[in-house]
Structure 1
Amino acid sequence: MLIVLTIFFVSFLFSESIFLEVNNFDIGERAFHIDLGKSYAIIADYQGTIHFIDIFTLEKTEFTQAILPMGGAYDGEFFYVIDNYNKEVLKIKNNKVIQKLVLDSKPVNIRLINEELYILGTNPYKLYIVDNNLLLKKSMVLPVHSPLIRNIGDQVFIPLFDNFQNNVFLTDLLFLIPNNDTYIVNYNHIEHPIDIVGSNGIIYMLSYYDGSLYRNDFRKQPKIAQFGEYSTNIELYKDNIVGNSLMGGVYYYNLSSGKTDVILEEVPISDISVSPNGQYLFAISHIENKLFVIEGKNVYQTIDTYNYPIDVESPTDNIVLVLCTDSSKLQVIRYFE
């Protein structure tokens, strides 16, 4: 009832569309990313707690039976949590563990894609594909440290991130495509692949340290844009591939013209997200403690965050979530029109 009254009051007070913080949650120390599952935000911290937050009702539940939780997923009925310390996947309902799966490596990431759980582990480096009954469907040994799970729709890609160490390539592969046991081969000596997007049947890839954007052609991978340095994410936004740079800037590569533009060039950007309807681009600065709401290439609104925002997610057209790790806060921001 209070949330409904707040929305009514804000809509009455402002005649223009606006984003406003409506709530924030205390999260334990060293929480680094938000997992999204249906209507839930799932956040694990290094104090041994995983937080399940309903993004619509803003009800929060805390699960404390994992020693070192590192992520979670939700399929609409069950939560799935990975415990790095015990090498376990936990299936949870009503805040109780109803099933466990023990792995032979330490799980560090989990994603639910197309009704399957994709889990990455270290020591050894492995990928596991598990169904919702915690039955292991497939496991694959990875050649290098690969903690990230990316997807284009239902197609999953695992960037072989630590492919280059001490001036030596440790593998000639860039991305694992586990659905059909194939890889994207590294034809252009690309170092540290970190993200991937697809448009009109063409795949585009980002490298982390040098911030280069590449197009994946048949046996060729031309560099097509420079997204600063230390670039962590790319997204599709209004006929552009957009990316962020930890050294400063939100970069746009126009898919039609091939032209590159940049805004907020002097502002270090730690993460970006696009609203599901494609209207807004959200960018956070971990140095300035700001959320930038961008429409096109213009900053529509700037919102103060708590200390060191590290992850931004836009699960719906009118909800934005910002995780601020130094303040141990999850900020919930809503769009009012």
Structure 2
Amino acid sequence: MKTLALTQLTLSHFRSHKRVELDVSAQPIAIFGPNGAGKTNLLEAVSLLSPGRGLRRAGADDLTRRPEALGWKITAHLLSLGQTHEIETWAEAGGPRQLRIDGKSAPQTALGRIGRILWLVPSMDRLWIEGAEGRRRFLDRATLSFEPGHAEAVLTYEKAMRERNRLLKDMVRDPHWYTAIELQMAEAAIMIQANRRRAIAELTTAQEAAATAFPTATLALTSPDPIPDDLQTALADNRGRDMAAGRTLIGPHRADLEAVFADKGVEAKDCSTGEQKALLISLILANGRALAADFGAPPILLLDEVAAHLDANRRAALYDEICDLGAQAFMTGTGQELFAELGDRAQHIEVTETDGHSTLIRKVAT
């Protein structure tokens, strides 16, 4: 199995970090320190080395260090399948995010072709009990890890749907205005649905094939209204209903990810907080195992406050699985004792904060 890992990470005026230069190996990285010290900011920087807006979905201006507001820059060396790539992403004050890979300007989708990054953050702990949008986003991140072109299909669909919704709100009834838009939506929807189903199949197979301390989730793709095979015709037939609602009521934008705790037959939304967290971790690990086979190397994992709601035994099991997978995992917690079970299998970094300035200190395993 080949390696996917960051070897160098440099941050300039990013969030609370004025200047950070970090050299790391492919081992897991245990990052600890008090709340507000800047631990999650490090993980967010790494998440921006994948397509999209990162784990906080922040705009470019929100990432710059205050009060300077000079803009920000992230530079990284990524070892991917035996080749090292230099990635630079940045935004000048008030400007858009930009990207260079190996010295050449590149679209964000190119990041998905040279690496895979998965994350689990505390806001996702409520994934199973809040709205469908968060679960769609979770599924689409997993889908994107298998098929980098999925993002383009989703963007195409959403752009066309916004145009159709504008026509609906303006009460435009002439069918000629809708034909091309609905065709574009239907073509993109076919790819979106196929990609999502593939991701669910990959996650299911990876869960079933593994002996793990974490529960298995039975997954299903659902929708309030079934998405017809001939979406173009259905959209045309539903214009009257959609016009009354002022929006499009059928399509993959209404899909939901359903999960059931397999051993208990209980829907994830009805499980305990600890069980819901364990199901999420199970899916992230399954995603990692599937990607190790599909991409040729396990993904980089970003696990923010991962020890929350885990007892010592399950925490130790998680660390064992990460090490067995061979993934470079950036993990955060408030104290170094939360990573005691890792010992010298991980690099330990303490993050402190003084007057809004974060500082990194390497530590030995305890």
| Fold in common (TM above 0.5) | no
Q: Work out which of the two has the higher radius of gyration on C-alpha atoms and give 1 or 2.
A: 2
Which of the pair has the greater relative contact order for Cα pairs under 8 Å at 6+ separation? 2
- Please give the range of the TM-score, normalised by the shorter of the 2 chains: 0.3 to 0.5
**TM-score normalised by structure 2 residue count:** 0.32
